Amino acid sequence: MIKLYDVSKTYGKAKEKAVDSLTLEIGSGEIFGFLGPNGAGKSTTIKMITGILIPDSGSIEIDGVNIADDPIAAKSRVGFVPDTHDIYETLKGIEYLRFIGTMYGVPEAVLRENIDKYADLFEMKGALGDMVGSYSHGMKQKLSIIAALIHDPQVWVLDEPLTGLDPQSAYRLKKLMRERADSGNTVFFSSHVIDVVEKVCDRIGIINHGKLVAVDTLDNIRQSDKVSLESLFLTVTGEGE
């Protein structure tokens, strides 16, 4: 579960808040899609949920643990796939995964099992003995996805995870997101690709200029004959007629 209460963040002396009084609750078993135009505040929100940025005000809880009160306990419950994959280039893929697993205190047997399972799923087994520096963009992204699951996190946060993946990997990732949610975990991901969000999510939120301008279930949006997700998106972000 992720709970944000009245969270705001301004970068430096910027006039506009990057995130402005955001209150949002995402339950266990749910895939939540976070939509918004470029610069809307998606990545800033995600960086606060994952503890990389500290909010100026407001509070964030991960499965009942307040990040400000106990950052380690909160972060240990989160797996994060960032939108850039600046992974240590001079490590082998396997060394990177073992390093991450050790940092999260994953027992050896579980570490082996999870590396095996996810590397197999994303067809990365053959590449794990190679240096990360030799990987393609998509391979780094897949390594990043595997690394975020090594400790079996209750909360999985992904920033633009489908950008740059081939159709097979994108399909497998979407399936995995559903499986993790169905087994009681929370999945939160950002995107500007409406089709993807429409296919994968249970609920969506739309952010514009740092403010949450819409939150609804996909079922509700589908049942309304007038509003498609695309037209809702365009209307609440100021592009609709």
Ligand X SMILES: Nc1ncnc2c1ncn2[C@@H]1O[C@H](COP(=O)(O)OP(=O)(O)OP(=O)(O)O)[C@@H](O)[C@H]1O
Return phi, psi of residue 37, to 5°. -65, 170
**Near ligand X in 9-48, by CB under 6 A:** 11-12, 14, 18, 36, 38-44
Q: Which stretch binds ligand X (CB under 6 A): 6-14, 24-32, 64-72, 132-140?
A: 6-14
Residue 171 is a binding residue for ligand X (CB under 6 A): no
Comparing CB distances to ligand X, the nearer of 43 and 114 is: 43
Minimum CB distance to ligand X, residue 93 (Å):
26
Residue 44 is a binding residue for Mg ion (CB under 5 A): no
Q: Give ∠ CA 196-202-204 in degrees, rounded to 5.
A: 70
Q: Which stretch binds Mg ion (CB under 5 A): 11-19, 34-42, 59-67, 179-187?
A: 34-42
Residue 43 is a binding residue for Mg ion (CB under 5 A): yes
Minimum CB distance to ligand X, residue 34 (Å):
9
Tell me the per-residue interface mask from 189 to 228 with ligand X, x by CB under 6 A, - otherwise: ---x------------------------------------
Minimum CB distance to ligand X, residue 149 (Å):
22
139: nearest Cα among 148, 149, 150, 127: 127
Minimum CB distance to ligand X, residue 53 (Å):
9
Q: Which stretch binds Mg ion (CB under 5 A): 15-23, 37-45, 86-94, 135-143?
A: 37-45
Footprint of Mg ion on this chain (CB under 5 A)? Answer: 42-43
Footprint of ligand X on this chain (CB under 6 A)? Answer: 11-12, 14, 18, 36, 38-44, 192
